[in-house]
Structure 1
Amino acid sequence: METAIDRKQTAFRLSTDLLERLKKAAKKQNRSLNNFVESALMDIVYNEPNEETKAAIEEVRAGKFAGTIDTSSMDAFLKSCGE
């Protein structure tokens, strides 16, 4: 049995250009404007990186890099990934 999601109607003022872009993006994905905007906002609010990703981001910001990946051949690539 599915439970209904409680929703509340609200209004926002958006620039006409932004609204048109949102409508076009929703249409490209064959979705309603409401569904498209709600999904985009949920992605922003609920997507938080896990602890491992946060640590990797901090390492990069601190100037610590994993090294250089060699893409000259598959063997070189695999070897450089293991270093």
Structure 2
Amino acid sequence: SCPHCHGKMIKYDFQKPSKIPLLEQAGTPTLLRLKKRRFQCKNCRRVRVAETSIVEKNCQISNLVRQKVTQLLTEKVSLTDIARRLR
């Protein structure tokens, strides 16, 4: 249901593809190809994008990568080294 007017949401337009980098698995970089479905409310015509717990809304960086960057920053690692480690 729509969060604004509680009307019925229907599929709208297309799936928006995005490539989400994840942490390395077995020494190889991992990339998640995620398609976010868009929905439109029948009553108020507002469009909304499906949400997931993997990434924040309107963001291309996974939550796991964000946590790892924060952890490395607390260990006083340079930004260049962090970028190399996490690709």
> 1 or 2 for the larger relative contact order (CA 8 Å, sep ≥6)?
2
Give the TM interval when normalised to the shorter protein.
under 0.3
Q: Which has the higher helix share?
A: 1
Q: Which has the higher strand share?
A: 2
TM-score by length of 1: 0.25
Structure with higher Rg: it is 1
